[in-house]
Amino acid sequence: MAAPRWKTALDNALKKHPDASVLQFGSLDRTSPVPHVRTLIFRGFETDSVKRTLLLMTTDIRTAKTVQIIANPAVQLAWWIPGTKEQYRISGQASLVPSPEDDLHKHFTHHLGKASNGFDWEAKRLEVFKSMSGHMKASWLRPPPGTPLSQWPGSPPESWPSKIEGPNDVGEFPDEEQKRLWAQSLRNFALVVVDPEEVDLVELEPIPNRRTRFWKAGGDWEDEALVP
């Protein structure tokens, strides 16, 4: 199956401008009609065993977005590529891939794994985690994000590790403390997986400007031109 046209366009934009990986991720919860929007980093596409085009991001499983995705998995991404003057608004269903040790693992991976026909999401989680910088890995060692600092008198910011040293080529860590920190960080690390259902693409570089709506119809993608 050929890739949808919006995905080909986004691939081409990111090849030209690989630093344009910052997007906005909006979700809802049960307690408020106000959307919760935050900035995430795009970590790549994944095509699972049933040929869905999925977008990957990462998070700390202890963040508020976890509860929001449980309450309502419908999310929207807003992504501006400055170099090509393109805006992508991607609506779809979000899932998380947490550690198998996390109580939420079965909640998400049962549905995601079933829909993906046995794709090994834990292997993918480990692959992405290993690709992260030591400074980024250390960020998942802090107390739960968004909680008041006053709740953690025994963990002041100056005590938080700033970097984790990973294992060498034969799997050996510098010391037992680094091994412990690596395992703790990995337990808090999760993939955010978005299965797109609709994409609104605005192209401001061509004159006249163009706008196209793409939507999933069964296993295929359809599209129509819109007024920009």
- State the CATH number of the domain containing residue 25: 2.30.110.10
pLDDT at res. 36: 96
- Rounded Cα distance between 90 and 75, Å, is 8
- Rounded Cα distance between 216 and 92, Å, is 10
pLDDT at res. 89: 99
Domain around 38: 5-132+191-226
Q: Does residue 77 lie in a domain region?
A: yes
Q: Does residue 99 lie in a domain region?
A: yes
Whether residue 80 contacts residue 93, with contact meaning beta carbons closer than 8 Å, is answered with no
- Rounded Cα distance between 213 and 225, Å, is 6
pLDDT at res. 116: 60
Lowest pLDDT segment from 14-18, 116-120, 146-150 = 116-120
Q: Does residue 159 lie in a domain region?
A: no
Runs of H (alpha helix) within 162-214: 176-188
Give me the number of domains the chain comprises. Answer: 1
Question: In which band, very low, low, confident or very high, does the pLDDT at 42 lie, cut at 50, 70 and 90?
Answer: very high
Q: Does residue 171 lie in a domain region?
A: no
pLDDT at res. 1: 58
Runs of H (alpha helix) within 17-144: 64-71, 105-115, 121-131, 134-139
Q: Does residue 44 lie in a domain region?
A: yes
Q: Does residue 128 lie in a domain region?
A: yes
Q: Does residue 146 lie in a domain region?
A: no
Strand partners, 211: 202, 226
Whether residue 100 contacts residue 121, with contact meaning beta carbons closer than 8 Å, is answered with no
User: What is the distance of C-alpha 121 from the center of its chain?
Assistant: 13
Q: CA angle 72-76-81, nearest 5°?
A: 160
Q: For the residues 157-175, what does the mean pLDDT come to?
A: 94
Whether residue 57 contacts residue 41, with contact meaning beta carbons closer than 8 Å, is answered with yes
Q: For the residues 175-185, what does the mean pLDDT come to?
A: 96
Where do we find the tokens 């995601």? 112
pTM: 0.92
pLDDT averaged over the chain? Answer: 92
